[in-house]
A and B are shown apart, each in its own frame.
Chain A
């Protein structure tokens, strides 16, 4: 299977989790990643800079109408929902909060599932609410690959546990297990057919 995009949802405990996950990804990691971290409405997303310094991959805030390119990591801007269009560009919305969150993981995941269908990987990491559960359901329905962080290994296990309870996810792994799997998948993706 050739995967075209990865969406990741993460909430409380996210900084550590992302540090671990992204520091393990090699520079040439080519599948685009769209990362949604729950953040306050007035955040300046400074943590992107901090994370950028610790990783090999290039991380940037997603711009409205920006085209999703290989080898990039995009982060949702604060106080807007982030959606993916069928033509693989980003849209923003200030629609009401979903699961008390804006940006909401469900909103991103559901639109990504429609845009990428079976060529999408959805990942839920640490967090203490149930945002992302409906999104994982949708990704599964559309034939995508679903991965949840093992709640036992998460700083806050509630969010992955909620997804696991509602969806028969394909993999339940530690952060190390997830990065190993992603690297393996990306290698297979690059291999000539």
Chain B
């Protein structure tokens, strides 16, 4: 039976709904292939986000519909890596939301100071800007030498770039403005050496950062930490997956440890909400209860 007759037979089902279901099926099929064949699990990511990114890839590669992309994924590993790159959003900044870093200094640092050793986990660190910002903060507080920063992401390309710690001067200009808004205690240019195009972050900032590949969906707890920073990563996950990752965070935090989310993310409607108190509601800093 053709699509057309079908929808005419069932006035309740418009052609729109049929097409929509087909699109949804094709998306799920594609995500299943990516998982089964390549081990990348996007099955519980936000659909609207995936649709948008996949459509972009289709336009760039001159493809008409989802079946084309499906067969390309099955047969072309080079295309897959291009697709994966497009599915992950790696936009980040140093001292993004300066108010958040200010709050870290005021509300979290005094507690961290009481520990002999401090372990911090940046989950979804992208190209490393957040981890370098944390290094700077810890140096300015005189805590760096007893701190280990685990900076992880599931995208090896960005982890490699993070390790290098080289940022274009155009970006550095923006980061300098953020650093000043945060109220940094030095001159931002003290933290890098620049040539005509790029700035290279100081070796002393990298010393205690451990860069690693870690997938929040498929990998498990690897350390017990005092502070977790996971900002603008969970917004790409659906509710169920968010809850799973929150379990992982809860199990990785010491009692009294802190969890920091992005400025528009919240624990409010998650299963673990009652297990944390709010250290700073506006800046989304939560404290694991004892």
Chain A positions within 8 Å of B, measured between CB atoms, are: 63-65, 77, 80, 83-86, 91-96, 107, 110-111, 114-115, 117-118, 142-143
Is B290 part of the binding interface, using a Cβ–Cβ cutoff of 8 Å? no
Q: Which residue of B lies closest to A77 (CB)?
A: B264
Residues of chain A with a CB closer than 8 A to B46's CB: 83, 85, 91, 93
12 contacts between A and B (CB under 8 A): A63-B264, A83-B52, A91-B235, A92-B264, A93-B89, A93-B235, A93-B236, A94-B89, A95-B89, A95-B91, A117-B17, A142-B16
Structural contact, A80 and B264, CB atoms closer than 8 A: yes
Bound Cα distance A114, B20 (Å): 8
Bound Cα distance A91, B16 (Å): 23
Determine how close the nearest CB of chain A comes to the CB of B167; give it in whole angstroms. Answer: 16
Is B266 part of the binding interface, using a Cβ–Cβ cutoff of 8 Å? yes
Q: Which residue of B lies closest to A106 (CB)?
A: B52
Residues of chain A with a CB closer than 8 A to B264's CB: 63-64, 77, 80, 92
Determine how close the nearest CB of chain A comes to the CB of B74; give it in whole angstroms. Answer: 25
Question: A64-B264, A93-B49, A94-B235 known; 16 other A-B pairs, CB under 8 Å?
Answer: A77-B264, A80-B264, A83-B46, A85-B46, A85-B47, A86-B24, A86-B48, A91-B236, A95-B49, A95-B89, A96-B91, A110-B52, A117-B16, A117-B17, A118-B16, A142-B16
Is B265 part of the binding interface, using a Cβ–Cβ cutoff of 8 Å? yes
Is B213 part of the binding interface, using a Cβ–Cβ cutoff of 8 Å? no
Is B232 part of the binding interface, using a Cβ–Cβ cutoff of 8 Å? yes
Structural contact, B48 and A85, CB atoms closer than 8 A: yes
Chain B positions within 8 Å of A, measured between CB atoms, are: 14, 16-17, 20, 23-24, 46-49, 51-52, 89, 91, 232, 235-236, 239, 242, 264-266, 269
Asked whether A83 and B48 contact (CB < 8 A) given A92-B235, A95-B89, the answer is yes
Residues of chain A with a CB closer than 8 A to B236's CB: 91, 93
Bound Cα distance A117, B242 (Å): 28
Bound Cα distance A117, B19 (Å): 10
Residues of chain B with a CB closer than 8 A to A111's CB: 48, 51-52
Determine how close the nearest CB of chain B comes to the CB of A101; give it in whole angstroms. Answer: 14
Residues of chain B with a CB closer than 8 A to A86's CB: 20, 24, 47-48
Residues of chain B with a CB closer than 8 A to A84's CB: 48
Structural contact, B51 and A91, CB atoms closer than 8 A: no
Bound Cα distance A93, B265 (Å): 11
Q: Which residue of A lies closest to B89 (CB)?
A: A95
8 Å CB contact of A65 from B23, B24, B269: B269
Q: Which residue of A lies closest to B46 (CB)?
A: A91
Asked whether A107 and B52 contact (CB < 8 A) given A92-B235, A93-B236, A94-B89, the answer is yes
Bound Cα distance A86, B47 (Å): 8
Residues of chain A with a CB closer than 8 A to B16's CB: 117-118, 142-143
Residues of chain B with a CB closer than 8 A to A92's CB: 235, 264
Structural contact, A64 and B235, CB atoms closer than 8 A: yes
Q: Which residue of A lies closest to B234 (CB)?
A: A64
Bound Cα distance A139, B51 (Å): 15
Bound Cα distance A84, B48 (Å): 7
Bound Cα distance A86, B239 (Å): 14
Residues of chain B with a CB closer than 8 A to A91's CB: 46, 48-49, 235-236
Bound Cα distance A86, B16 (Å): 13
Structural contact, A64 and B265, CB atoms closer than 8 A: yes
Structural contact, A114 and B51, CB atoms closer than 8 A: yes
Bound Cα distance A94, B236 (Å): 10
Structural contact, A94 and B232, CB atoms closer than 8 A: yes
Q: Which residue of B lies closest to A79 (CB)?
A: B263
Which 7 A-B pairs have CB atoms at the shortest separation, nearest pair first? A83-B48, A117-B16, A111-B48, A91-B46, A92-B235, A85-B48, A95-B89
Structural contact, B20 and A117, CB atoms closer than 8 A: yes
Bound Cα distance A134, B213 (Å): 37
Bound Cα distance A92, B264 (Å): 8
Structural contact, B49 and A83, CB atoms closer than 8 A: yes
Bound Cα distance A107, B266 (Å): 23
Bound Cα distance A84, B235 (Å): 13
Q: Which residue of B lies closest to A61 (CB)?
A: B264
Q: Which residue of A lies closest to B235 (CB)?
A: A92
Residues of chain A with a CB closer than 8 A to B242's CB: 65
Residues of chain A with a CB closer than 8 A to B47's CB: 85-86
Bound Cα distance A63, B49 (Å): 16
Bound Cα distance A111, B46 (Å): 12
